[in-house]
A and B are shown apart, each in its own frame.
Chain A
Amino acid sequence: MSTEAHPLLAHHFETLDQQRESSTLAMWIFLVTEIMFFGGLFMAYLLYRWKFPLAFHAGSHHLDIRLGAFNTIVLICSSLTMALGVRAAQTGERKKLTGFMVLTLILGFVFLGVKAIEYHDKFAHHLIPGLHFQWDGPGGREVQLFYSLYFAMTGLHALHMIIGAGLILWLLPSCVRGKYTADYYHPIECFGLYWHFVDIVWIFLFPLLYLLGRH
């Protein structure tokens, strides 16, 4: 095939392959900054957990492990639908791509819905750090620190999910129109990288926040 004449090849690239590899590399460089961004929060978590292990233990005990595990499974499912969506884009299957993107979006909303239920529960039990934080037990200040990190980490993660859902809505019309083919699919590939990255953050958040201190 003559890739040079492709209408979607930007003028500063030699070939479609080079164009795709460049965008994948650039997306990964963005994800490196994201890893360091979340890394700062994981650093804070590590340090304070080292300092206050019992308070983190106690705070974690109040999180609902069933909801956390359910959301973990939801995100793994959404990663599968996303990966199959990218594959459908590679093979130029328009209807499959659209279907998998919609499924990924729905699973994203399921995750956010469960998260909203959990946040509401924390609100009802006065576990939001601040003036109205209540903790019947020793080490209330340290437990508040655990909940500050819980909300900062899961909140930042949820924000990424919301942005991801917005990006799917933005990409959907062009999926429906059949813009993505074996020659040109890197926008879907790059979005897939972002979505999987958000899944990986949760893969670490789940054991660190929910599973700590279950035994």
Chain B
Amino acid sequence: MSMHVSPIRNYVGVFVTLLALTLITVVVAFQDLGPLNTLVALGIAITKATIVILFFMHAKYSTRLTKLVIVSAFVWLLFLFVFTMSDFVTRGMMGVSGK
């Protein structure tokens, strides 16, 4: 069998890391960093999500095809955000009526 059984201490380590990152994100939210606040909060959330996917969801030990599917999901999500916002943010830049 090629299944991977992680040791319990790995799961506990991931758990403690997630709790620590939650504490950090709450503490940082109360500091005024200007636009950096959102970036730090998102950075921590992305880090937490990556840890959960890799270790709790066993992506690290999955087949290459499964890994490709996981990555593709986030690429498509990025398309959704980037293309929509690149339209929305640049509206009115050209000074052409109706644009």
B3 proximity list for chain A (CB < 8 A): 17, 20, 90, 182
B69–A35 contact, CB under 8 A? no
6 A-B pairs whose Cβ atoms sit less than 8 Å apart in the complex: A28-B66, A76-B22, A182-B1, A196-B57, A207-B44, A211-B29
Q: Chain A interface (Cβ within 8 Å of chain B)? A: 3, 16-17, 20-21, 24-25, 28-29, 31-32, 35-36, 39-40, 42-43, 46-47, 50, 65, 69, 72-73, 76-77, 79-80, 82-84, 87, 90-91, 182-183, 189, 192-193, 196-197, 199-200, 203-204, 206-208, 211-212, 214-215
B41–A84 contact, CB under 8 A? no
Question: Would you list which residues of chain B between 1 and 58 have a CB under 8 Å from chain A?
Answer: 1-3, 5-6, 8, 11-12, 14-15, 18-19, 22, 25-26, 29-33, 37-38, 41-42, 44-45, 48-49, 52-53, 55-58
B96 proximity list for chain A (CB < 8 A): none
Shortest Cβ distance from B67 into A: residue: A28
Q: Chain B interface (Cβ within 8 Å of chain A)? A: 1-3, 5-6, 8, 11-12, 14-15, 18-19, 22, 25-26, 29-33, 37-38, 41-42, 44-45, 48-49, 52-53, 55-58, 62-63, 65-66, 69-70, 72-74, 76-77, 80-81, 84-85, 88-89
Q: What is the interface of chain B mostly: helix, strand, loop, or mixed?
A: helix
- Which one, A46, A76, A215, contacts B19 given CB within 8 A? A76
Q: What is the interface of chain A mostly: helix, strand, loop, or mixed?
A: helix
A196–B11 contact, CB under 8 A? no
**Total contacts A-B at CB 8 Å:** 132
Known contacts A20-B3, A90-B5; A72/B88 CB under 8 A = no
Shortest Cβ distance from A210 into B: residue: B29
Q: From residue B47, how far is it (CB to closest CB) to chain A in Å?
A: 10
Shortest Cβ distance from A39 into B: residue: B77
Known contacts A39-B80, A87-B5, A211-B29; A200/B85 CB under 8 A = no
A36–B76 contact, CB under 8 A? yes
Q: From residue B64, how far is it (CB to closest CB) to chain A in Å?
A: 11
- Which one, B31, B56, B89, contacts A82 given CB within 8 A? B56
B42 proximity list for chain A (CB < 8 A): 207
A43–B74 alpha-carbon span in the complex (Å):
13
A42–B66 alpha-carbon span in the complex (Å):
24
B11–A50 contact, CB under 8 A? no
A24 proximity list for chain B (CB < 8 A): 58, 62-63, 66
A32–B19 contact, CB under 8 A? no
B5–A203 contact, CB under 8 A? no
A206–B23 alpha-carbon span in the complex (Å):
12
